[in-house]
Amino acid sequence: MIRIAIQSKGRLNEESLSLLQSIGIEVDAPKRKLLSRSQTFPIEALYLRDDDIPQVVSGGTATLGIVGLNEVEERGADVDILCRLGFGGCRLSLAIPKGEAYDGPSWFNGRSIATSYPNILGKYLKNKDIDAKIEVITGSVEIAPAVGIADAIFDIVSSGSTLVANGLVEVETVFESEAVLIARKDLNGEEREIIDDLLFRIESETVSRGKKYLLMNLPKASLEEAIRILPAMRSPTVMPLASSDWCSLHSVIDAADLWTKVRQLKAIGAEGILVMDVDKIIL
């Protein structure tokens, strides 16, 4: 049995639990308990604030954790990053008041920057040889310039609307983040076996994300062109139809390309196109 630390509430909680659910691991939601053992997999969830997850894993209280890469980096936790999970995407950026004339990172020389991420910012400033003062604040960083706490901020940006609402402009992206699965170092054999199974399931889930399964009837004469339009994992599956001039073609494509591909396939004579969701892809 292994223990996985998950954010108890906040931006990563729901998606962490739905990832586990989608790979057949049911755990009770944190409202009921701090620890919840799965009945379907040898794992128990430990619900914590995201700030605590890197240390809890590096210290061995949990074997695994799901947390933002930003928290792992900021806390310098000695853990292994097993995989990126494809949700919780954001970036850590420097932003300054709108209207300031910005001429590159040297703008920050002699200025003060408010942030909850002093370590990542400190490294960046050192790298760029910038002498700025870091003001550590733990919440509402975006209001710091307006209330006179600092000249600029270094904070998480996702859509950018919080910056706009506070009269700020993003000028440098310093760190790209998303949710990651982390593990304690020096795992034993049993832990490794359970984690291999977990990673195998996660991979089949992340590979299938954003994919559609396409099935259509196609004149055989258009087959070559269709194969060019549909670069599948190996190549599209072609099946015979009762009518010898036609075949049935199956393929997996990125959902983002769906309508472009459908239009191209229609143009070469495809008919009866079925589009289906892909639940899992086992490579």
Query: Which pair of tokens denotes residue 267?
Result: 């143009």
Supply the minimum distance, in Å, between the C-beta of residue 78 and ligand PRT.
19
Contact with ligand PRT (CB under 6 A) among 51, 100, 191, 257: 51
* Strands 179-183 and 80-84, bridge-based pairing: antiparallel
The residue written with tokens 């995201």 in the block is: 50
With CB under 5 A as the contact rule, the residue among 17, 41, 50, 226 that binds Zn ion is: 50
Using the rule CB under 6 A, is 161 a contact of ligand PRT? yes
Buried b (16+ CB within 10 A) or exposed e, 94-114: bbbeeeeeeeebebbeeebbb
- Judged by beta carbon distances under 5 to 8 A according to partner kind, the member of Zn ion, ligand PRT, none in contact with residue 90 is ligand PRT
How many angstroms separate the Cα of 265 from the Cα of each of 21, 226, 258, 259?
36, 7, 10, 10
Can you say whether the dihedral through the CA atoms of 201, 206, 208, 209 is positive or negative? positive
Q: From the list ligand PRT, Zn ion, none, which binds 157 (C-beta under 5 to 8 Å, kind-based)?
A: ligand PRT
Strands 168-177 and 133-136: unpaired
Q: Which of 10, 24, 167, 210 binds ligand PRT (CB under 6 A)?
A: 10
Positive or negative torsion for Cα 135, 138, 143, 149? negative
Q: Closer to ligand PRT by CB, 7 or 63: give it.
A: 7
For position 160 contacting ligand PRT by CB under 6 A, the verdict is: yes
Q: Which does 71 bind (CB under 5 to 8 A by kind): Zn ion, ligand PRT, none?
A: ligand PRT
Residue with smaller CB distance to ligand PRT, 67 or 262: 67
Q: Tell me which residue has its CB nearest to ligand PRT.
A: 68
Considering the rule CB under 6 A, would residue 112 count as an interface residue with ligand PRT? no
Residue 161 interacting entry, from Zn ion, ligand PRT, none, C-beta within 5 to 8 Å by type: ligand PRT
Residues 78/38, Cβ–Cβ less than 8 Å: no
- C-beta of 51: minimal distance to Zn ion in Å? 4
Taking CB under 5 A as the rule, does residue 137 contact Zn ion? no
- Does 2 sit near ligand PRT (CB under 6 A)? no
- The span from the CA of 260 to the CA of 163, in Å, is 34
Angle at the Cα of 222 from the Cα atoms of 216 and 226, rounded to 5 degrees: 60
Under rule CB under 6 A, residue 93 binds ligand PRT: no
Among 25, 46, 90, 96, binds ligand PRT (CB under 6 A): 90
Q: How far, in whole angstroms, is CA 163 from its chain's centroid? A: 22
Q: Does 51 bind Zn ion (CB under 5 A)?
A: yes
CB 111 within 8 A of CB 151: yes
State the residues that interact with Zn ion by CB under 5 A.
50-51
State the residues that interact with ligand PRT by CB under 6 A.
7, 10-12, 49-51, 68, 70-71, 88, 90, 155-162, 177
